[in-house]
Amino acid sequence: MIDPKSEEDFEDNFEDRGRDLQAEIEAERIAEALVFASSQPVSEGFLAERLPEKTDVHAIMLRLKEQYAPRGVNLVQVEGAWAFRTAADLSFVIRRDDNEVKKLSRAALEVLAIIAYHQPVTRAEIEDIRGVQTSRGTLDVLMEAGWVRFRGRRRTPGRPVTLGTTRDFLDHFGLEELRDLPGLEELKGAGLLSGRIPANFNIPSPLMNDELTEDEDPITQMDLEELGLLAPRGTSED
């Protein structure tokens, strides 16, 4: 004989699980809508502020990522934030408009690679690695593309500016984080390195976060004025 109390408890638990499932589905819908509506990758912190309290945001995003994996649009992580992007194998069918970033010169590609792998790095250090001078125009192209930024100022004589890559750099090249940059074997396999590289040659590991290192100072308003990125205080644009 079934205990009426046990049957009642079972029904209550079943109803609770049903409500929890419905709440999770609704949270997924909200998170999906927030990411879709944003022009920039959305952080889990941003989502948590807009979802019901105690929602496991990371678990929800991983489920959505799995659901979108076989589709023409994928949910991807970019430096810990989330964004919808065209599936990599379908990128060739997307027509590029006239606003696409122009093809980079060999010099710009070299500089971008050095910054990506050696960041934080100064202009003088870039020139030491390349063996030639780096024009301001080359850096300007990378800045305008939104792939390179000023990080800080090195605590050495002259206080040179340090450079690093941006979230847009990761997004454009389909990387979740800097540790996803290709390693030595991948670069050799892609034909980007000569088969006669020195035996002790290695690919450096870039700094994995945006925090300043011990030998860097933050960029100040005065620094930005000195670099020509801000008009000096007390002046106005006509």
Whole-structure pTM value: 0.61
The whole-number pLDDT of residue 62 equals 94
Rounded Cα distance between 69 and 63, Å, is 10
74: pLDDT strictly greater than 90? yes
For residue 48, count other CB atoms closer than 10 A to its CB: 16
CB proximity list for 166: less than 8 A, separation 6 or greater: 146, 147, 148, 149
The residue among 93, 67, 91 whose CA lies nearest residue 174 is 91
CA torsion 133→165→229→221, rounded to 10°? Answer: -120
List pLDDT tens digits, range 12-54: 554 556 577 788 889 999 999 999 988 888 999 999 999 988 8
List pLDDT tens digits, range 207-238: 656 678 888 988 888 877 777 665 555 544 44
CA torsion 212→216→219→220, rounded to 10°? Answer: 120
Could you give phi then psi for residue 108, rounded to 5 degrees? -65, -40
Rounded Cα distance between 159 and 219, Å, is 11
Tokens 């049957």, residue?
7
Rounded Cα distance between 4 and 1, Å, is 9
List pLDDT tens digits, range 113-148: 889 888 899 999 999 988 888 888 899 899 988 999
List of domains in the chain: 10-91 (1.10.10.10), 106-226 (1.10.10.10)
CB of 111 closer than 8 Å to CB of 142: yes
Q: In the beta sheet, which residues pair with residue 86?
A: 73
User: Which amino acid is present at 77?
Assistant: Q
55: pLDDT strictly greater than 60? yes
CB proximity list for 104: less than 8 A, separation 6 or greater: 112, 141, 142, 145
Q: How sure is the predictor about 187, in pLDDT bands with cuts at 50, 70 and 90?
A: low
